[in-house]
């Protein structure tokens, strides 16, 4: 792809060549300065970095070697100023007249997101959702292989799903320790989620993706991401109602305070993700 102008802040060529050279020599060793930058990255920017990585991977598959900030921002659905700010957190500023080197930027983002490390995923709850997650090919292709499956139903014990035999939840601690599971996915009903979470933590799992409609209690050193589809639907409902309100106002009508939208959930601004009920 061609570059469409200034991809450098302040008109300087600040390409982060020191970090880049060290990364090329030893991709699994983080540069100290890069580690410090990673700690300072806002969570919203981390989410956007994951989007940039997906877009860049697509460019790489198409043999695109360089991309401008405008092109990358448009493909990622953000403005170019925000993209340049996000990439500055990882020490990448691009080169004037050239833009960003796709392969180098992919490497920088992967290191920042911890994707150069080995991950192992366990899914607990092999209902419809858990079954779909276990068979999802996007996990291993992006560095998150599913290595363990668990369910409470004894009839599922030993049954292969996605090529992996299901184990009973009683085996969570032992299996997670044995297979060095780093990420646990909870796809159980609400009433069993906390117990499952406790077992995962006891098995050494430090990051949990929670699809159960419940807030989990975990130690401070365990990260939990909650996925709530119902909340996302309510947020979309709010936006639909707001557009209807705007259209009615433009036509001289007044529908009142977002009539038909229903109550806007208090957690709308704080929840990032969705929850799918098993």
Q: Are strands 183-186 and 164-168 parallel, antiparallel or unpaired?
A: unpaired
**Gyration radius of the chain's alpha carbons:** 22
DSSP 8-state assignment for residue 169: G
Residue 149 marked in a binding site: no
Residue in the block written with tokens 């996925």: 227
- 130 known ligand binder: yes
Residue 115 counted as an annotated binding residue: no
Asked if 259 and 212 count as a contact pair (C-beta separation under 8 A), the reply is no
129 annotated among ligand-binding-site residues? yes
Q: Rounded to an integer, what distance in angstroms lies between the CA atom of residue 137 and that of residue 185?
A: 15
272 is in an annotated binding site: no
Q: Does the annotation flag 126 for ligand binding?
A: yes
Query: Binding site: residue ranges?
Result: 125-130
Query: Binding site for NAD(+): residue ranges?
Result: 125-130
């Amino acid at each position: 792809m061609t570059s469409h102008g200034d991809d450098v802040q302040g008109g300087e060529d600040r390409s982060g060549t020191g970090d880049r050279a060290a990364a090329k020599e030893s991709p699994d060793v983080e540069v100290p300065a890069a580690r410090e930058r990673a700690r300072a990255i806002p969570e919203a920017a981390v989410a956007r970095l994951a989007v940039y990585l997906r877009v860049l991977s697509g460019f790489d598959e198409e043999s695109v070697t360089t991309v401008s900030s405008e092109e990358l921002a448009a493909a990622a659905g953000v403005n170019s100023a925000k993209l340049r700010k996000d990439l500055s957190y990882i020490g990448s500023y691009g080169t004037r007249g050239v833009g960003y080197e796709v392969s180098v930027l992919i490497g920088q983002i992967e290191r920042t997101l911890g994707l150069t490390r080995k991950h192992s995923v366990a899914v607990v709850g092999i209902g419809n959702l858990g079954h779909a997650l276990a068979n999802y090919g996007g996990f291993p292709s992006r560095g998150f292989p599913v290595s363990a499956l668990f369910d409470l139903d004894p009839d599922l014990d030993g049954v292969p799903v996605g090529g992996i035999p299901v184990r009973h939840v009683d085996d969570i601690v032992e299996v997670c320790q044995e297979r060095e599971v780093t990420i646990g996915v909870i796809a159980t009903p609400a009433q069993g989620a906390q117990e499952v979470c406790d077992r995962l933590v006891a098995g050494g799992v430090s990051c949990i993706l929670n699809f159960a409609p419940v807030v989990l209690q975990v130690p401070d050193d365990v990260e939990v991401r909650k996925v709530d589809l119902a909340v996302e639907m309510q947020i979309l409902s709010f936006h639909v109602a707001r557009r209807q309100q705007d259209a009615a106002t433009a036509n001289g009508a007044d529908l009142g305070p977002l009539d038909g939208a229903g109550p806007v959930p208090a957690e709308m601004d704080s929840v990032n993700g969705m929850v799918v009920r098993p």
